[in-house]
Structures are given as structure tokens and as C-alpha cells.
Amino acid sequence: MITIKEAKTKQELTESIQFSFDLYKNNPNWIPPIIADELETFDKEINPAFENAEAYFYTAHKNGKMVGRITAIINWQEVNQQGKKKVRFGWFDVIDDIEVSKALLEKVYELGRQHQMDHVEGPMGFSNLDKVGLLTRGFDEMGTMITWYNYEYYVHHLEQLGFVVEKQFIESVFPFSNVKPEFFLKATKIIKQRFGLRVLDFKTTDQIMSRVDEMFDLFNTSYEKLASFVAVSDRQKEYFKKKYAPLINPEYIKYIVDKNDKMVAFSIVMPSLSKALKKANGKLFPFGFLHLLWAKKHSKSVLFYLIGVQPEYQNKGVTALIFEEYYKVFKKNKIETCIRTPELLENNSIHLLWKNFEPRLHCDRKTFRKDLN
């Protein structure tokens, strides 16, 4: 018999997080989160996403043992502003037993029907800056700190339970040696002169933070037309600044401003922390933070996390300036591998940025939808 319980206390939530560690214990491609960070994400008093969302955390038990977990979410900002009557699910982990998946998802349907939602979609988090998508290809590729990993049977469970694909994302990787400066150097001088643009370089995290609110505003403007985009609120800006500031290498953040010092583009690249997180195994202490600090400065792989461009500057070659700056710093730091994090399949303007670097598509992920009758 399968029993579903709601995890409410810190101990219960910790046990739900620990379930994933047990499920993927011997899998070399699963990247463990920092348990304390996960608990903050689930804390209604800390995570500002709960200003506009409600969430419930469930665990499944069979024969006295935990066998799965899921989070049921309604983002009321999405419902009220976009008119999408959707209940989300995320942080979904389960043994290979479709009855367990079915029982957990019933709790998501229950929340949706309670609030007159008409469909369910997942896996996805509270907002656009959370992890998204079920891995559907690339099970033998090492994950990243900003993606979920899952076994292939997850896909089969959802398909058998009547889910269909809603959104598709692609991830790719390319060696830094594929980056040839002739692809962008000819254009950068012309673009700078034509539009009066310049790139801001940073040496310290404080310098970055002085304009990070402006960057988030540009992020909202750049991505607002994409499907299911939910703008980042002022309180969320503060939350993400605190969460990610310790992981930022100032050299890997680029702002482009015009002659009036207005930001027209930005890019965030992060050092890959996957190997460090494997060593930390969910804990910052006593040695986990040392692994992360080392990787922050010395990792030979980088993640292209976000690129945003003001709509009026899109398709005008502004990203050539960004690539020129990264080429210099990556060469200095002896970077070997560049990883693109999940990008919507429909976001063709982003995909075109990378074509000259001959990227290898190595992972697909999808969100799945089911109508609620």
C-alpha cells in the first residue's frame, strides 16, 4: 500500500531531500544540491516566490520506506496576469513504480481542482530562474547545478499516465577551442562605434551588485515574450543576489551600456561546480565550501547561464561584444569546455548565437502537460 504524507517540518523536508541522495547514490551524472540551500528554497519565510505562489511538499511511502517525493505549486502571478489556469509540479523523484508516480501526481491534481485550474505542467519550479524540465536525452551526461537529473523511466511513467509534451529545451556543449575570434572581432569595432556601446568589466562582486537590479529589469524586458515567463519581483532580486553572489566569478559577468550609461545587454557565465558539488555531497561543512571556492576560481568548464538584450538592440550584433570579452578572459583562465544551459527550442535568436562554435547537442529536456477534467 502506498501512503502519501505532506512534509511540513524541517526534519520532514530534509528527509524528502535526502531521498534523492539515496535514489541516485551510485549515479555519476546526478549532481547533489546543497541541502541547506534546498531547505531555504522550500521555506515560506525565506523564499520570496511564496509572495505569489503556494506550494505543498509530499512524500510517498511503501512498506515503511520513502519511495518518492513531489512539490505541487500554483504560481498565482502566472494565473492572474497571464490567465493560465495551471498547477505546476516540481522536485519530482520516484522509484521505478508507476503506482508511486500516480499517487504523488494525484496530490497535484487535487490542488489544481481545488482552485479550478484546468491543466497541470511540470517538472518546473516557482519561477523562470528555477530548474525546469524532465531529462529526455543525455542520461549519460553529467548534470549541472541548475538542472534536474532523472532516470529514463520517469518519462515512461508520465507518458503512461496520460501526459503529453508541452515545452522542449535543448542543451549543448562545445570546446573552447571551437571559438575562433575572427567570428566576432571584425564586427565589434563597427558595432561599438555605430551604437556608442562599451563593455563594463568587473574585479569585485560589489561592483557587479551595484547594477544588478538594472540587470534583472533588463532580464524581465528581454524574456517577457517567451512562453510562461513570469517577471522577477524586487524581493526576488534580493533573494537571488544573496543566493548566487558567493558563486559568482566577477570576470564572468558582462554588462554592455550605451553612451548614456544605460544597460542594453548583459551576460552571466558561471564556473561549472558539478564536480565540486559531487565532492561536497550536499554539505557545505566541513569541507564542501572549500571545494566550491576552488571550483569558482579554477574550474576549466563554464556554464552560459543567461544572456539578455534590450529588444531594440536584438539582431544587431551586440552579442559579438560579449563574445569578444569572454574570449579574452576564457583564454587567460585556460577554459576548456563551454556548456549551454537549457534553452527553449522556440528561442531561435539564442540558438543562432552559437552556430559558429559548432556546439554538440547533448541533452534534451521537456515539460509535460495533462488536462484536468
User: What's the CA gap between 247 and 196, in Å, rounded?
Assistant: 32
**205 or 269: which leads in pLDDT:** 269
Cell of 33: 544540491
Locus of grid cell 524541517:
10
Mean pLDDT on 328-350: 92
DSSP 22: H
Q: Taking each helix axis from N to C terminus, what angle separates 153-160 and 98-114, rounded to the nearest 10 degrees? A: 50
Q: Distance between terminal CA atoms of the chain? A: 26
305-316 residue pLDDT tens: 989 999 999 888
Q: Is the pLDDT of residue 227 over 70?
A: no
Q: Please, what is the average pLDDT of the chain?
A: 93
Check if the beta carbon of residue 319 is closer than 8 Å to that of residue 179. Answer: no
67-125 residue pLDDT tens: 999 999 999 999 998 899 999 999 999 999 999 999 999 999 999 999 999 999 999 99
236-260 residue pLDDT tens: 888 888 887 777 889 999 999 999 9
User: What's the CA gap between 277 and 284, in Å, rounded?
Assistant: 9
Confidence of residue 207 (pLDDT cuts 50, 70, 90): confident
- Alpha-carbon distances, residue 294 vs 248, 277, 298, 299, 334 (angstroms): 12, 11, 6, 8, 15
The sign of the dihedral angle between the CA atoms of 339, 342, 345, 349 is negative
Q: Is the pLDDT of residue 141 over 90?
A: yes
Confidence of residue 372 (pLDDT cuts 50, 70, 90): very high
Q: Is the pLDDT of residue 37 over 80?
A: yes
Helical H segments across 183-272, by residue range: 185-195, 205-209, 212-223, 234-244
Q: Which domains does the chain have, with CATH numbers?
A: 2-170 (3.40.630.30), 174-364 (3.40.630.30)
Check if the beta carbon of residue 163 is closer than 8 Å to that of residue 354. Answer: no
